[in-house]
Structure 1
């Protein structure tokens, strides 16, 4: 029997790989991100580089803007390329300065013309509009609402007597003798005269309160002299026979003595024509001597003086100094 030749057994080949296994292998084969030295990935490095680049670009932009601003300020002050100074050329500056020169020159001329026209309507001697009241006020000297002193101490009343001497300097007899003797009881009207004459009012008319025989004006004796004068009002001609009358606000009366007698303000000193045409004018004054006794010492005396006997107002509640004045006196030993 013949035997058939035996064929060699085929060598076992590689087994086929399933599809699922292939897909897993592909996923494993995907390139893994390489880690850097500090454990950072390449993507993180790229992002950091991008951020650094942005920051650098922003800083560069800021520096460029600063340089541009500096250059713009320099160019604004003076631009050598265009020849402009402060944004304008020389011809432009010249034109604008010429415009403002003409404009403000015109305004100045208009103002001067307006003032000149207004001044032509004014009188140098009499104000066109008087804001003062037609009725004068009264003031006292020494200039104090409360006169308090010790009659035994010269330094206590030295300031008061100084004020009185200073006030009466213009009334000195040597000066007043150069003035005119006027008619007593009549107005001294001199409207047509360019320079007005002045009526005499001698200091010696105040007698005990003149400061001539008694330089202390009675303060050393505790019988002080108070001088009352009326404010000047241009053109004032009081009617009647004006005089000063003083009263004490207390129950018991106080003895007083007036100089000139009866406290008269003679009409010959009116009217007043103003400082320019009446430069040497002195208004009439009245001196009141308070004849205090020892019983009156250390007691505050409230005294009110009014101008009476004329049409001048002395009872206006809105103005307590209109035609009247109130002051206080206190004497101690």
Structure 2
């Protein structure tokens, strides 16, 4: 062995490492005997089996509290979100009347979105309900009333914005249609006393004169009460989300128009903050260009 203060040779260092890995005198491997290694491995085996058992038990108990048809707890905004269609990469609808390709993408997007709303499909899948009344479908004690029925929302209810009478949804004529939908919220009752929530759209002060007149479909831009409450995707497999169409009748051409549409209801709270721009409202930009001579 080297004396204190003397530098160890490479051979001495290697001998010490070899002895640490396997000591033939004490029969120790990495500083532990076989019995010591056995005890520590047994401890960790029992420890991890216990942890795995606790995890499985916790998951089992948690799953017992879940309802496969409805969330046990719903942490959501007091005001549901809104969205528009067509919606491509951004909330901006810009096109040139003379350039068919610039607005054909919007027409195709609306055609695809409204396909499930065809009258034939609605009659086949959904029920004709009583307007202005909630379509409540209670369970009978422990007996689930599933799958629940849904009310028809026929494409023809959108009239000039249905894509049936006008295949271009007004885009060719410079009178485009925008569809608005309210996000689904399980159990939400958005009106009372027979008053359905309705949509209103407006423009910022500097754009108000450029927006022109609007026409809403269905009349008054209402989301009829018969489409509520929503019971969830699994319980209400054929649910058809109600829509409101807004048609811009004489918007000023070659000008940016910043539009905001919002939901009005006697039970849905007004947005408390401007942080969430989709809570009870949706904002988008509309620009209709016209080729100049």
How far apart, in 1, do the equivalents of 2:85 and 2:286 lie? 12
User: In the alignment, what sits opposite 1:299?
Assistant: 255
Kindly indicate which of the two structures has a greater share of residues assigned to helix: 1
Change (3 A) 1:161 1:254: same
Quote the offset at 1:287 in angstroms: 0.9
Normalization by structure 2: what TM-score? 0.83
Quote the offset at 1:80 in angstroms: 4.7
Change (3 A) 1:140 1:69: same
Greater RCO (Cα-Cα under 8 Å, separation 6 or more) = 2
Per-residue deviation, residues 160-215 of structure 1 (Å, max 9, x unmatched) = 23332232232222321121111111110002112211111112222322223434
How far apart, in 2, do the equivalents of 1:233 and 1:327 lie? 23
Give the greater-gyration-radius structure (CA): 1
How far apart, in 2, do the equivalents of 1:220 and 1:88 lie? 84
Gaps of 5+ in 2: 140-144
Contact residue 27 and residue 33 of structure 2 kept, 8 A: yes
* Equivalent runs, 1:1-333 vs 2, <5 Å: 62=7, 65-143=9-87, 144-178=90-124, 179-192=126-139, 193-239=145-191, 240-249=195-204, 250-251=208-209, 254-292=212-250, 296-318=252-274, 319-333=276-290
Per-residue deviation, residues 278-301 of structure 1 (Å, max 9, x unmatched) = 1221210011111136xx101112
Gaps of 5+ in 1: 1-56
Quote the offset at 1:309 in angstroms: 4.8
Quote the offset at 1:100 in angstroms: 0.5
Change (3 A) 1:90 1:160: farther
Contact residue 314 and residue 324 of structure 1 kept, 8 A: no
Quote the offset at 1:89 in angstroms: 3.5
Quote the offset at 1:153 in angstroms: 1.5
